[in-house]
Amino acid sequence: MFLLAVLPYCLFPTMGSAAQQVRHILLIDPAHGGKDTGVVSDKLREKDLTMKLALLVRQEAQKSENLKVQLTRSADTGLTVAERIKIVGAVKPDCLISLHVNAGFGKKATGYELYFPGFRQTVAGGGDPAAILKDMARNKHLNDAVRLAQQIQSSLEKVFPRKGRGLRDAPCPLLDGLNIPGLVVEIGFATNPEDRSALNSNETQQAIAKALVRGVQGYFHQRP
């Protein structure tokens, strides 16, 4: 009788501990690197800022028990799109965020943008059931990407009030073909003096990292 009474008590803590160990994996892709500097404006170099933000996101995520962050690069090294895609396959993340800095449209353009891969209008393979099922799975990931984008947008709004330039549906070589929700986040315009000043601020960089982690956690929390 004693054994039967104790057995359920022993099982439940074990199950709880296992549940606590389950983590979502977020893969952060700091754009550019190595000889590829990306956008350069004044003293801001895209490859350096995206790397710093990625490290800050990983550091911020360490405070969470259910989120693990991995990076496509953790140093100033160059990676091709194919190499980044290979890393995605090896890591098998639950979602992917590629960090970029915007430029162009004169000095007045300002704010952040979020891109997700475009929805296909037709099913590849015609009426082939396998092709239809594959397309349905891909569309689920694209829908998830939209939900992720909405959460990130909401979080970044607290860092850059009224600076959001909307969610944009566009092809992306890194994200196209991946069966995970993924986003490109253009965090601001290096060519805009106000944006550039903010992006060079340690305080703003910390706030961006916290906003990204908060947005990802919000996405996982609401995901069906």
The 10s digit of each residue's pLDDT in 128-171 is 444 434 554 567 888 899 899 999 999 999 999 999 998 988 88
Say whether pLDDT at 173 is over 70. yes
State how far the alpha carbon of 6 is from the alpha carbons of 2, 19, 180, in Å.
6, 21, 43
* pLDDT at residue number 14: 42
User: Which two structure tokens, joined as six digits, stand for 220?
Assistant: 């996982």
* pLDDT at residue number 158: 95
Mean pLDDT of 183-209: 97
Confidence class for position 216, pLDDT limits 50, 70, 90:
very high
Say whether pLDDT at 52 is over 70. yes
Say whether pLDDT at 194 is over 60. yes
* Fold of the domain spanning 25-222: Aminopeptidase (3.40.630)
DSSP structure string for 163-187 = -EEEEEE---TTTTT-SS-EEEEEE
State how far the alpha carbon of 19 is from the alpha carbons of 12, 66, 67, 159, 217, in Å.
11, 10, 13, 33, 17
What secondary structure letter does DSSP report for 65?
Answer: S
The 10s digit of each residue's pLDDT in 15-47 is 444 445 558 999 999 999 999 999 999 989 999
pTM (two decimals): 0.83
* pLDDT at residue number 99: 98
Instruction: Give the Cβ contact number of residue 189 at 10 Å.
Output: 28
Say whether pLDDT at 12 is over 80. no
More confident residue, 5 or 82: 82
More confident residue, 152 or 178: 152
The 10s digit of each residue's pLDDT in 99-133 is 999 998 788 999 999 998 865 433 344 444 444 34
Distance of alpha carbon 199 from alpha carbon 105, whole angstroms: 18
Say whether pLDDT at 87 is over 70. yes
The 10s digit of each residue's pLDDT in 61-77 is 999 989 999 999 999 99
